[in-house]
Structures are given as structure tokens and as C-alpha cells.
Amino acid sequence: MYEWRKMTLEQRKEILRERKQSQLPWHSPPHFGKEPGLYHITAACYEHRSIMSSPERLSAFESELLSGLAESGVAEVRAWVILPNHYHLLLKTCLPDVGKWLHRLHNTSATRWNGEDDARGRKVWHRYADRFIRGDLHYYRTLNYIHANPVKHGFADKTQEWPWSSYVKYEQEYGRDTLVQWWRDYPTTGYGKGWDE
């Protein structure tokens, strides 16, 4: 699941030395974007544990995430998927602003879930990763990747069966034929390999 756990002590020391020398965060993804733009954001529960495993928790988190981003004005949500152990967003945003907002959301949700699960002090989130969208090809491949994620991870047999996603919204707005054409024109083969496994 995580390469870090498979490394020897010497390999870990070498990775940390390289990250320190490059002035990168030692144990988290670097965030480079300072300008407004389109970003693919991924956040995972610590060690990919399925902490959001109930339908009620998935629905509540989706609602809190989407309404909070809309109300705060820090991002325009283009696409999303919420899974029991991670989520993906396609946003138009300024990365530092949305990063602060996500940090607060993660703290709030972790505190609430740890109380509900009688697991005070449990680490729930492992930060977030971002990728700047570099053009139309990247945008539509990311959109397809986000919508295909429930099937990729075995949470649903068909994309449209997963209720915590923007797929149905896109199908209603653009039609199934358009989404099928996007899938043909912008395949996800190899996209995201190793990111959230």
C-alpha cells in the first residue's frame, strides 16, 4: 500500500535526505501552485482505512465538502467522488486558500468521527495531494478518472451506481452519449497508477 513501509531503514534515511536537500516536506506531498487554476485534489484517510464506510457518513461528508466549498467561495467544484477511504476533486481554485479550508474540514470531520467511533486521538486524514491541470486532455482524463474511481476500487460495478459522485450530474447535463465519447477520446489508461493504492 505505501512504499515507505516496504523500505529498509537506510532507504528511508536516503529518501528523507533527498527531500530535505530539495527543500520538500519530509513526510507529505509538496504543494507548488500559488496561482488560481484548475487542480485535481486527492485526500486519503490515513493508511487508506475505510473510515467513511457508512452511507450516512459518505452522504454527510459529501454535503459538508460541497456546500462548504461553495459557501466559502474558495473553489468552484467541477467534479468529485467520495469513497470510504479517500476522495477526489476537480476544482478551479487558488491552492493555498483551498488547502487551508480542507485542513479545517479534515480536522472537524476527524474529531467528529473519532468521537462517534470512540477512537479519540486516531489519525484520520493524511493531508492531500494536488496536480495542476495542464490542458483539455489532462482535464477530461482527470474527469473520467474521478468518475471511474468507484469501479476501479471495487466499490461499484458501474460508475452510475455510485451515489457520491458528480457522474449523474454530468450524465443529466451532457447526456450519456457525450460521456461515452469523452471516455473514448480521453481514456484513463495508466492515469493515476500508484496514486491511491
111-151 per-position pLDDT tens digit:
999 999 999 999 999 878 888 898 999 999 999 999 999 99
77-113 per-position pLDDT tens digit:
999 999 999 999 999 998 888 989 999 999 999 999 9
- The CATH number for 119's domain is 3.30.70.1290
- Judged against a pLDDT cut of 60, whether residue 26 lies above it is answered with no
Q: Please check whether residues 16 and 95 belong to one and the same domain.
A: no
Residue 161 lies in a domain: yes
Residue 197 lies in a domain: no
Nearest to 89 by CA among 162, 166, 182: 166
Cβ neighbour number for residue 114 with a 10 Å cutoff: 16
Q: Please check whether residues 55 and 20 belong to one and the same domain.
A: no
Domain count, the chain: 2
In angstroms, rounded to a whole number, what is the distance separating the alpha carbons of residues 44 and 17? 25
In angstroms, rounded to a whole number, what is the distance separating the alpha carbons of residues 175 and 184? 15
- Domain span including residue 18: 1-28
Residue 195 lies in a domain: no
The pTM (predicted TM-score) of the whole model is: 0.82
DSSP-assigned letter for residue 126: E
Q: Please check whether residues 10 and 99 belong to one and the same domain.
A: no
